[in-house]
Amino acid sequence: MSYDFGSVGTVVKGVEASTDPSAHILPELPRSNFYLMHNPEGWEPVQREDGGWEWLPVLKRLLIKPGVNGVRSTKNGTDDSQARIGFQDRGWTILNRDLGYITRYPCRVGHSYYLTWDKPIKAGRRVVIRHDEEGYNEFRRSLVTEGLIPKPVPEILTAILQSHQKVIDRNAKDIHIPAVKAKIEETQDLIDGAKMAANALTGKPKAKRTRAKKVEA
């Protein structure tokens, strides 16, 4: 009696096709787990694909690693509560990890934790990272529109623009050099676009109208 196994067979491909037991893991030691957080002073002007400008929050990582930034190792595991409280007391916003900004990958020993928009690619013995800039910017933009990060104080954006203006001032004497001239023009375009974006984001404060005092005869 014969039996045709063609209907139940599965083509072996991808990771399953490799005889290398490490084919499905990253060739690196673990990268620490983390929170994303934001300081009220951390903003940057970003040019969109349509040529316009916008302000997006600069996000930093709070590593969940014992001995770093007040993170402790206890008998019950890693305790990051004091680290988070310390940053929050200094005005930082700690973003909830359930927002989906972390992706975990298996590595040599345990797991590596990556920003979701950073895709690790195994290239021989190396790991290269492909960054989805537009996706990350969309995430940062949503943090502001959804109120998870407060809008910036106008004076903070003004101070950041002043730092860009200093770049122009420092290089003005060498404007006859083509490369320097191009840099100055690029920075000026940034300043002009970012000023408009700042006004749209924060709104120009309206000047208070004061009534003239009536002079008695």
Give the total number of structural domains in the chain: 2
- Greater model confidence, 168 or 124: 168
97 and 195 together in one domain: no
**Averaged over 115-120, what is the pLDDT?**
96
38 and 129 together in one domain: yes
pLDDT in tens, 170-196: 999 988 999 999 999 999 999 999 999
Does 198 reside within a domain? yes
72 and 170 together in one domain: no
132 and 73 together in one domain: yes
Query: In 3D, which of 132, 102, 129 has the Cα closest to residue 35?
Result: 102
Q: Which residues of 111-136 are buried (b: 16+ CB within 10 A; e: fewer)?
A: ebbbbebeebebeeeebeeeeeeeeb
Determine the angle formed by the axes of helices 154-171 and 178-202, rounding to 10 degrees.
170
**Averaged over 143-152, what is the pLDDT?**
96
144, 173, 194 - which closes a domain: 144
> DSSP secondary-structure letter at 193?
H
Please list the residues that pair with 103 across neighbouring strands. 114
127 and 178 together in one domain: no
**Averaged over 158-173, what is the pLDDT?**
94
139 and 162 together in one domain: no
Q: Which residues form the domain of 189?
A: 153-202
169 and 119 together in one domain: no
pTM of the full predicted structure? 0.80
> DSSP secondary-structure letter at 54?
E
**What does the block give as tokens for 171?**
């290089």
72 and 130 together in one domain: yes
Q: What is the dihedral of CA 48, 134, 161, 150, to 10 degrees?
A: 110
99, 114, 144 - which closes a domain: 144
100 and 75 together in one domain: yes
β 111-115/93-94 pair status: unpaired
**Averaged over 95-114, what is the pLDDT?**
95
Measured distance CA(120)–CA(135) in Å, rounded: 16
Measured distance CA(63)–CA(65) in Å, rounded: 5
Start-to-end Cα distance in the chain: 124
133 and 157 together in one domain: no
144, 161, 178 - which closes a domain: 144
119 and 176 together in one domain: no
110 and 59 together in one domain: yes
pLDDT in tens, 28-62: 999 999 999 999 999 999 999 999 999 999 999 99
